[in-house]
Chain A
Amino acid sequence: MTAVTLSDARPGRRGDSFLSVQDLRVSFQTEDGVVRAVDGLSFEVEKGTTLGIVGESGSGKSVTNLAILGLHDPDRTELGGEIWFEDQELIGASRTAMERLRGDRIAMIFQDPLTSLSPYHTVGRQIGEVYRKHKGASKKEARDRAIEMLERVGIPHARTRVDDYPHHFSGGMRQRVMIAMALVCDPDLLIADEPTTALDVTVQAQVLDLLKDLQQQTGTAIILITHDLGVIARAAHQVLVMYAGRAAERGTVREVLTEPRHPYTWGLLSSIPRLGAPVDVPLTPIRGTPPSMLAPPPGCPFHPRCDYVAAAGPQLCTGERPDLSPATGHGDACYLTRAQKQEFLGQIKGRQ
C-alpha cells in the first residue's frame, strides 16, 4: 500500500497503476501536414498482467509504445498527455533518464527478429551489452548472464550458441534471442510489438507460451501489440482495441472477445476465419479502409465504415468523438445504447 500513498502524494499523478497512460497525443509533422497518430489514448497496466493492444495498421499501436520508450524522432514528433511509470513521468523526461530506463526497467521486443538484431555482433554480445550497461557487469559476468538467459528462453547448447551470429539461428530461435535480450535485466515492463507476426503458427504458440512462463516467474507487466485476436486470446489478460489513435473498446479478454460492444470489435471478430465453419461461408471483412490520420473523419472516426450509424443517430456519430464509457472496467466508445448493442451482437452471433 505504500506505493499507493507515495503516488497519491505526487501532484498531477492520475490513477495508481503501475503504468498509466493518460490522454496521450502523438503527432508528426509531415510534408502533407500534421498526422495525429495517437489522439487522446488512455490505458493502464498492472504488474504481472498482460495488456493486449489490437488494431489495424496505422491505428497508433506501435507509435504509442515508441512514445512510452521515448524512441520517437524528437525533431518531428509532438507529444501530449501523460505517461506515468510508477511515480515517474516519462513525457518530457531527460534523455539520460530515458536511457537508464530503456533496456533495464522497460524493454521492448520488435516484430522482425532478423532485422531487429544486429547482423554484425554475436548474440552473446548483444545480450551481454545490455547487462553491462545497466548493471555494470564485467565482460565475463555479462557472458555468463547471456548464456543463462539463452538457456532460460529454451535455446539448446546455449554455451556454444552464445558466440553465434543472428543469421545462424532460425526465425523462432531469433525471436527467443530477442526475448532473452529484452529480459536480461529483469525489466518491470516488457513491450512486445507484434512479437509473433513474422513467425509461423507453431513457433508463434511457443513464443507466446514462453512469454507467459517468464511473466509468471518474474512478475513482469507486458504490453502485447498485435493485430491477431488469436494471439490476444492466448496471451493477454486485458485488451485494448485501438482505432484511429484512440481506444474503441477496453476490458478483460473474456469481456471483449465474448461480449464485444463496439461495432469495430464486432467487425474484427467476424473477419476471423474459423476452422469449424463451412468453407462456402465467405469471410466478412470490415468494409472501407482505415481513415487517414492527416484528416480523420469528424465525430466517431469509425462512422464511415460503420453499419449502425442510422441506429445510433447520424448527428451523434458525426458530432463529438465518443469517449470510453464506463470509465473503468469493460468500456466502449460508441453511441449505441446498451440494449441496441446486445441486440446487434445477438444478430451477428446468430449469423455465424
Chain B
Amino acid sequence: MLRFLTRRTLGAAVILVIIAAVTFFLFFAVPADPARLACGKVCPPETLAQARHNLGLDQPLFVQFVTWLAGIFAGRDYEGLGHCPAPCLGFSFVNHAPVFDTIVDRMPVTISLTIGSSVIFLLFGVGAGIIAALNQGRPLDKIASVASLIGASVQIYFVGTLAMYFLVYQWNVIERPRYVPFTDNPLQWAYGLLLPWVVLAIIFTANYTRMARSTMVEQLSEDYVRTARAKGMSSRTVILRFALRGTLTPIATIFGVDVASLIGGAIITETTFSLQGIGRLSIQAVLNSDLPMLMATVLLAAAAIVVFNVIVDALYAVIDPRVRLS
C-alpha cells in the first residue's frame, strides 16, 4: 500500500508540473499584455516598463516559469511589491495581493458547496437507484428513471435561476443564498447554502441513480447473492451486506471525479447564486488576464483531480479485497 501511494504521488507531481507548464506557455500565446493590466488605466511607458520588470515579465519565458515553480517551494521577493512567502503562487496582476491568500480566502465557499451537495447527491442518488433496482419494472422504478432523465437533462443556470426567482423572490420560501463560515454558525452555514446544494445535487443525482440501479440489478443476479439467500439471510442483509458491496466500486469511481471537479470550482453554480468561490475566481482570472491567479486555479483543479484519483484507487482496495493482491 505504501509503495502504491508513493508511486502514485510521484506520478501526480509529474502530471501537475506538465499541466502547469502547458497553462503557463499557453497564456503567453494570448495577445494581451499582463503588465499593461497590472499598470492600470493611465500608464506612462516608464511605469509600464517598471511594472514589467517588477512582475518578472522582462525575463525569458522559460526562466519565468522556473522562477514561478521555485517560488511555490521557496517563496519569492517581488521588487516594489514585497515578499511572497512559500507557497508562493505569485502576486495577482489585478489586486497585487499574493495569489495564495486569495485562494485560501475563497476555498471555504467551494469546499462547503462540495461537501453539502455531494452528501445530498450521493445519498439520494444511490438510494433512489437501489430502490429502483429492487422494484424493477414497477411504478417506483419508472418514477426514478423519469426523474433521473429530467435531472440529467436540466442545467444549473436553468434550475438555479428558476429556483432563485420563485423560491427566493416570488414566494420568499428561503433567503438569498449567502456564505456564513461553518465555524461562525453551522446552522446559518447550512441554511445559507441549502439552495445551491440542492440545485447542484439535482444535476449530479441522476448519474448516481442510473449507475446504482444498473449495477444493483446486475449484483442481484450474481451467484453469491443467490448463495446468501440460500443461506437463509434476510432480504435486508442480502441487499445491504452482499449486493450493495458490489455497487460501491463504480459509485466510488464517479464520486471521485465529481467531487474533484467540484473542488476545482463550481463555476456556473457560484455565478448563479453569487457565491465567491474558486469557480468565480477562475473566471475572473481569465477575464482579467491575471496569469498568476489563473495558474493557481488551474493547478488547484488539476491537483484535485489527481489527488481524488489516488484516493479512489485506494478506496477500491478497501471495497474489494481482490484488488489488494496486486
Contact = CB atoms under 8 A, between A and B. Distances in A.
B230 interface: yes
Given A120-B245, A120-B320, A167-B321, A115 B232 contact: no
B223 A110 contact: yes
Given A119-B321, A120-B245, A181 B231 contact: yes
A60 B245 CA distance: 32
B227 interface: yes
B151 to A, nearest CB: 28
Interface residues of B, number: 21
B226 A102 contact: no
B224 interface: yes
A165 B224 CA distance: 13
Dominant secondary structure of chain B at its interface with chain A: helix
Contacts of A129: 231, 233
B229 interface: yes
Nearest to B229: A71
A167 B242 contact: no
Interface size class of A (residues with CB under 8 A): 20 to 34
Interface in B270-326: 319-322, 325
A102 B224 contact: no
Contacts of B175: none
Contacts of B319: 120
Interface string B199-235: 0000000000000000000000011101111111110
Given A115-B223, A117-B227, A118-B224, A165 B322 contact: yes
Interface in A121-138: 121, 129-130, 133-134
A115 B230 contact: no
A110 B321 CA distance: 22
A167 B224 CA distance: 13
Contact of A116 (B227, B234, B325): B227
B229 A102 contact: yes
Interface in B226-283: 226-234, 241-242, 245-246
Nearest to A120: B245
A165 B232 contact: no
Interface in B64-122: none
A207 interface: no
A99 B234 contact: yes
Contact of B230 (A100, A108, A120, A165): A108
B223 A133 contact: no
B322 A99 contact: no
A119 B322 contact: yes
Nearest to A191: B230
A104 B232 contact: yes
Contacts of B320: 119-120
A101 B229 CA distance: 11
A103 B224 contact: no
Contacts of A165: 321-322
Contacts of B322: 119, 165, 167
A112 interface: yes
12 contacts: A107-B230, A110-B230, A116-B227, A117-B227, A118-B224, A118-B242, A120-B320, A120-B321, A121-B241, A130-B232, A133-B232, A134-B232
Interface of A: 69, 71, 99-104, 107-108, 110, 112, 115-121, 129-130, 133-134, 165, 167, 181
Given A108-B230, A120-B245, 19 more contacts: A71-B226, A99-B232, A99-B234, A100-B232, A102-B229, A102-B230, A103-B230, A103-B231, A103-B233, A104-B232, A116-B226, A116-B227, A118-B227, A118-B228, A119-B224, A119-B322, A129-B231, A133-B232, A181-B231
